[in-house]
Amino acid sequence: MTELIPQPGSVVAGSGEVRLTARSQLYAGTATEGVGNWLRTVLQQATGLPLHEGRELDDACDDGIGLQLDSALGPEEYRLVSDGNGVVIEGGSPAGVFWGAQTLRQLLGPDAYRRASLDRRRTWAVPHLTIQDSPRFPWRGLMLDVARHFMPKEGVLRYLDLMAAHKLNVFHFHLTDDQGWRVQIKRYPKLTEIGSWRARTKFGHRASPLWDDKPHGGYYTQDDIREIVAYAAERHITVVPEIDVPGHSQAAIAAYPELGNTDVIDTNSLPVWDNWGINPNVLAPTDNTLRFYEGVFEELLELFPSEFIHVGGDECLKDQWKQSATAQARIAELGLADEDELQSWFIGHFDKWLSARGRRLVGWDEILEGGLADGAVVSSWRGYEGGITAARAGHDVVMCPEQYVYLDWRQAPGEDEPVPIAHVRTLEDVYRFEPVPEQLSEAEARHVLGTQANVWTEVMEDHARVDYQTFPRLAAFSEVAWSALPAPAERDFADFERRMTAHYARLDALGVAYRPPTGPLPWQRRPGVLGRPLDGPPPRA
């Protein structure tokens, strides 16, 4: 079972195998105890073997598993050796050991992903081999939008496990938008009392005539967030929260109308939005708004230890600011040229605020408009151009161009694709995605921290729809983010498809409702629900 995803740096096959038995032990050396606890738990569940705790590495000899650090390896690098001395996984850090443990789980076969043993009499074996492996990028991310459709905590924890199984290490948690506010802020209780639910929901694309008239909502308590962050940390995943400003903020304005442009519209009449698209109701650029969101971020920083805090910054329509005497007075007071520079000032305020507290601001590539905030990291989503501009200006970049890694985009041209959105982006298209723009010099390319796949949930009403849109394409993305692949045109997609045959069985064992390679199953279709399919290839990224 060496059909590994993502593809390791090198695999040298041996002859023979290590068989795990009732007398096999698992030894976890200094600083790898957490990985040992995780590995013992999942393997005990799947195999029914006790995997007793070994006190020395020699206890893992012959038929056991040993975990330890090797300072000569890179931080996330690992070496897995399976031979007559058992299985030994060494990593440059606990994270490296953990990724090696994920590879070991794949080597044991699909049933190693089950939560109970199917047959306690079966043989569990690891082929003799040596694997040397390390990631290409330090940022290997998945963004999950829980604002448009709320995902209960158990679903989020499940996605952290799925990320870990694919060696992804950054969970971008999109917590707020026009359609819902999903995190408890104790000093502003109306954000969840009012902002966390909407009266109804558009079913399908915004042009669809269909509505789900059932109220939709939900939020995570601060203890839920602490649990999610701790669960992620055990899996060596960093959680990066997103609180969207100054656009995508109608849920917050519905809860606290003074945050909106009150001299332009009656903000007291605004509900949490029930439709999709770009919303004109944006935050007012006032001192009150700044202080309010500083209060939000103060609580957020207590919950999320991540160096990075995402503030959105995308799709902020400026129409209300153009009409607002308050906004125009602010532009004049600050000596700004226009509303684009006003947004840059807004983002720059939080860049400085976060920097003073030892954090780094991340924003979508619109934060480039009107001048780039000092120290900000750019999530380049509208193509490569934003990332190129930012990297050349000396700013770090996360590449997530919609043309390749927006997983809400449809997967095939067939009419059976459920709620088809945008252009077709197949499994092969994702596999041939190259995160580093060819226009960058070697020095500029070092600003590319990595890459991220984004799952926007406007047309994903439950976890089964999220699974369908996300998998199997996330498996291809994980290999792009982890493995040192050749140029896109030279990548061996046929070999990837061969390895996916084994990987589908792993996803089956994990209960993932992925899109089958032959097309959607009958219950995965959404006949009559309007999408927004676009013909032809997407515009150049």
Catalytic residue numbers? 177, 248, 315
Question: How many other C-beta atoms can be found within 10 angstroms of the C-beta atom of residue 90?
Answer: 22
* Pair of tokens at residue 46: 């799947």
Tell me the pairing of strands 10-20 and 124-133: antiparallel
* Pair of tokens at residue 60: 């893992």
CA distance 4 to 20: 20
CA distance 53 to 60: 9
* Pair of tokens at residue 370: 């009107």
CA distance 222 to 192: 12
CA distance 221 to 358: 25
* Pair of tokens at residue 176: 């707020």
CA distance 462 to 513: 11
CA distance 529 to 210: 7
CA distance 345 to 334: 9
CA distance 285 to 342: 8
CA dihedral over 435, 438, 441, 442, signed as positive or negative:
positive
How far CA 165 is from CA of 6, 26, 135, 475, 503, in Å, comes to 10, 20, 14, 10, 11
CA distance 86 to 76: 22
Among 399, 398, 406, 450, smallest CA distance to 430 is for 406
CA dihedral over 141, 145, 146, 147, signed as positive or negative:
positive
For every residue of 152-202, which 3-state class applies, written as one string?
Answer: CHHHHHHHHHHHHHCCCCEEEEECEECCEECECCCCCCHHHHCCCEECCEE
